[in-house]
Structure 1
């Protein structure tokens, strides 16, 4: 099974996908005139604006839902994996893909807002499947993405998060994996059977708390090793370009693993962000595009960087040599995963560090599993528009809980391999789609900036911009 998964990943995550992710980010940065830089203050302002409604959640709740999917095990175990296989230089390429990916996140999330619709229960739904069908007119492509999304978010990706929770608990307190799986599955069932509103409220409360607490802990570790910060930063930059002696052997792997784990963590270009973005109640789609672009910064430039600095500054990592053995053995014999971060914090907080990281990972990964469910459920809702099989939602819940139990007790290598297949397939389908369908998102950005310059609170009128098939916005205008 592991060999098959590895073979599939070598095809899906070929250099072509790595360059497609970087190239798309650079292209959208140029087309939006680097809105991720120009619009930074606007991102902060919009984050706390807007109110929820009977149909949609507030901008902040949508951000929290999006961050609950982005901030997960990729921010701890994923960073450690990137360093283990790509060297410290992989962190630099995670930064690059986050900076460029913020513009990609704007485009895909704005498209999600433009082409959203109400489901039979009155809730906003949207995402790549919706905008592919409405803007491109290719129903088969939309269905392909929807099916891939359901399989990836409902079966492949939850196992990675559950596996890291189980590893963290076992390392910290010796709790058996099966027991962790049982508790997580029961808690998960309570949340996902409660509907979208419960998911939004849960994410709104948990995500800011867990992210802030983890970053404060990481800052404490970094400040305890303050003298190492310039060394760490220099090592990351030098290794990124093969200038550090001993790490030249992994130069190509630094780019590959940096992009791979960067996309896994911040999700820019995956097609997952537009689902949460579409759920927001805003007066203009660009508003949520700005907010979702900011979520990429929070995920990678803050949370992932915190993990990278605490691992590298304490030397609690190793780097595999492609030719065999290790290039660096600061922590020889440790399995790639949360163990790296737990060992790093233990150097400063002996007896407490492993437990703290395990708890942080529990919150990070659990909220990500909940977000995966929401994304998969949204695509089930899309499929049900045509075939109307209500039992599919119930089946999804059962399958997701089974995937969590399975992932908790399987090897980390298999869990990550399955997750990478899901991320890679979604990225291929979504990035190609938004490159074709970018025009409405760019028109929305120019319209938003024009109205802001005139001193208005921007309101979206798709007909005035020549954007077709945005039925919900036309209905709102008529009301």
Structure 2
């Protein structure tokens, strides 16, 4: 066992330790420049997904908004509460600035990987779709890279479906026990039964549940942060200055100065928004949209919601409170956020925070389950295997909730997430010219006056696409497509 732990420790050192974060940052900057700052170009369009006018016309399909909310539910978790607090404790207020920077860069990375997932998605024949990095590896890079897709799928299932779900179950039960006094076994049973009900409904039920709980979760948490900000409105400019000053070393809040702020901000931001890690594209591929870039823009918005909005809420709750003392030790994680809220709003707020943590953990569990289901689909289509996976995840969630020490056996989760991120980034780098082609197609249609661009797969005959997944091109609602679409050379 010690040898296995050492092996996974080495993998973590080789990925998260020194290579992965610089690669994610450099590649994000590269994508931003080569795409012409696409995340800012279409920032206004991101909000269109919230309108009912932009939903799918097929009642059986997953809409762009539902796919957005499922991915937000996965990105937003306990890390947005505990992780931000740890980043501020170890890196000072300046860590928040670098979280913002990496989120703005990551928005471009997320747009690219999610657009690829959409482009190479496959129809399930029932109005739903399936795809993700494994699909764009197999159909984009070629069948000879199937082994790479299987490696990705194994890492995805082990890290997210099992490892991270055990941790989320632990977070859920721990919060209920600490604040409400509920025994872990009861919250574990509740969580396991609810998880089973949802996962046996498949992606449609997951999407419907996310469409309800994610807005409640996000709006409630934002409202709490706004209450704190309003009560301390005159102190907000000072906090903003502290964040910027610490980020550039004009003030030093913790030992390590700019280096600590930069390291903690980048690491927390990347862990939180998952841009480039290859997890969210699996959900992005399920949406029924007219053009791959449309869902790419939507998933870019998901990164913005996670880091720029939700993580910032936690940061301001902490930095505006008297509880946080720069350089002090002994209070971090959920405790720091909780005490900061109580000092501002009173004892009732800790119960609200517990409720928020429960929703955050639960939304992550159903998201992680779907990633596991997608990974299984790469390895086998056997229905019995799917039932085994569902039962296994229910058991893992229950064990993670009831036995605090049980999560220690999932020491492989972070290292395997590092491996799947590197696999995903290699695939995205190789397929980036394809993304530029469909991005040019999207821009050309907008310039031609098409309000909602549509992908016509006939214009990309050299790509291995599932034409049945892009039926909008043949529908009557897209009559101007032929005139508006400008074929792009494969060499573009």
The two structures share one fold, judged by TM-score above 0.5: yes
Distance 1:146 1:55 in 2: 26
Change beyond 3 A, Cα 1:346–1:199:
same
Change beyond 3 A, Cα 1:413–1:404:
closer
Q: Which residue of 1 aligns with 2:43?
A: 40
Report SS of the residue matched to 1:175.
Answer: coil
Is the aligned partner of 1:92 residue 2:97? yes
Is the aligned partner of 1:425 residue 2:419? yes
Distance 1:475 1:447 in 2: 15
Change beyond 3 A, Cα 1:357–1:130:
same
Is the aligned partner of 1:230 residue 2:233? no
Structure 2 stretches of 5 or more lacking a match?
476-492
- Map Cα deviations across residues 220-244 of structure 1 (whole Å, 9 max, x no partner): 0122222332232222222223332
Distance 2:261 2:411 in 1: 18
Q: Which residue of 2 aligns with 1:103?
A: 108
Shift of 1:270: 1.2
Distance 1:82 1:159 in 2: 23
Is the aligned partner of 1:460 residue 2:455? yes
Is the aligned partner of 1:12 residue 2:15? yes
Distance 2:42 2:362 in 1: 31
Shift of 1:275: 1.4
Matches within 5 A, 1:388-427: 388-408=381-401, 409-410=403-404, 414=408, 419-427=413-421
Distance 2:181 2:260 in 1: 34
CA RMSD in angstroms, aligned pairs only: 2.5
The more displaced of 390-399 and 435-444 is 390-399
Report SS of the residue matched to 1:232.
Answer: helix
Change beyond 3 A, Cα 1:120–1:450:
closer
Shift of 1:6: 5.8
Report SS of the residue matched to 1:281.
Answer: coil
Report SS of the residue matched to 2:299.
Answer: helix
Please say if residues 166 and 407 of structure 2, whose CA atoms lie closer than 8 Å, have aligned partners that are also in contact: no
- Map Cα deviations across residues 162-202 of structure 1 (whole Å, 9 max, x no partner): 23223322332233333322221121111111111111110
Please say if residues 105 and 293 of structure 1, whose CA atoms lie closer than 8 Å, have aligned partners that are also in contact: yes
- Map Cα deviations across residues 80-135 of structure 1 (whole Å, 9 max, x no partner): 22223333222222111110000001100000010000236553000000001111
Please say if residues 149 and 378 of structure 2, whose CA atoms lie closer than 8 Å, have aligned partners that are also in contact: no
Please say if residues 105 and 269 of structure 1, whose CA atoms lie closer than 8 Å, have aligned partners that are also in contact: yes
Distance 1:21 1:118 in 2: 31
Shift of 1:300: 0.6
Distance 1:354 1:190 in 2: 29
Q: Which residue of 2 aligns with 1:314?
A: 321
Shift of 1:464: 1.7
Is the aligned partner of 1:180 residue 2:187? yes
Residue 353 of structure 1 is aligned with which of 342, 349, 359? 349
- Map Cα deviations across residues 41-97 of structure 1 (whole Å, 9 max, x no partner): 111124431315266311111111111111211211121222233332222221111
Matches within 5 A, 1:232-251: 232-249=239-256, 251=258
Q: Which residue of 1 aligns with 2:370?
A: 374
Q: Which residue of 2 aligns with 1:303?
A: 310
Please say if residues 462 and 473 of structure 1, whose CA atoms lie closer than 8 Å, have aligned partners that are also in contact: no
The more displaced of 2-11 and 14-23 is 2-11
Structure 1 stretches of 5 or more lacking a match?
320-326
Q: Which residue of 2 aligns with 1:328?
A: 328
Please say if residues 164 and 338 of structure 1, whose CA atoms lie closer than 8 Å, have aligned partners that are also in contact: no
The more displaced of 281-290 and 409-418 is 409-418
Distance 2:179 2:289 in 1: 43
Distance 1:378 1:285 in 2: 19
Change beyond 3 A, Cα 1:391–1:437:
same
User: TM-score under structure 2 normalisation?
Assistant: 0.88
Distance 1:396 1:208 in 2: 28
Report SS of the residue matched to 1:90.
Answer: helix
Shift of 1:460: 0.7
Q: Which residue of 2 aligns with 1:322?
A: none
Report SS of the residue matched to 2:320.
Answer: helix
- Map Cα deviations across residues 207-230 of structure 1 (whole Å, 9 max, x no partner): 112101110011101222223322
Residue 128 of structure 1 is aligned with which of 129, 133, 146? 133
Distance 2:469 2:126 in 1: 20
Residue 81 of structure 1 is aligned with which of 83, 86, 95? 86
Distance 2:111 2:201 in 1: 29
Distance 1:281 1:77 in 2: 34
The more displaced of 412-421 and 337-346 is 412-421
Change beyond 3 A, Cα 1:250–1:439:
same
Change beyond 3 A, Cα 1:440–1:184:
same
Distance 1:102 1:237 in 2: 21
Residue 446 of structure 1 is aligned with which of 425, 440, 447? 440
- Map Cα deviations across residues 10-48 of structure 1 (whole Å, 9 max, x no partner): 333123211111111111111111111111111112443
Residue 277 of structure 1 is aligned with which of 271, 274, 284? 284
Is the aligned partner of 1:471 residue 2:476? no
User: TM-score under structure 1 normalisation?
Assistant: 0.90
Residue 195 of structure 1 is aligned with which of 198, 202, 215? 202
The more displaced of 248-257 and 112-121 is 248-257
Is the aligned partner of 1:435 residue 2:429? yes
Distance 2:13 2:260 in 1: 13
The more displaced of 291-300 and 46-55 is 46-55
Please say if residues 462 and 474 of structure 1, whose CA atoms lie closer than 8 Å, have aligned partners that are also in contact: no
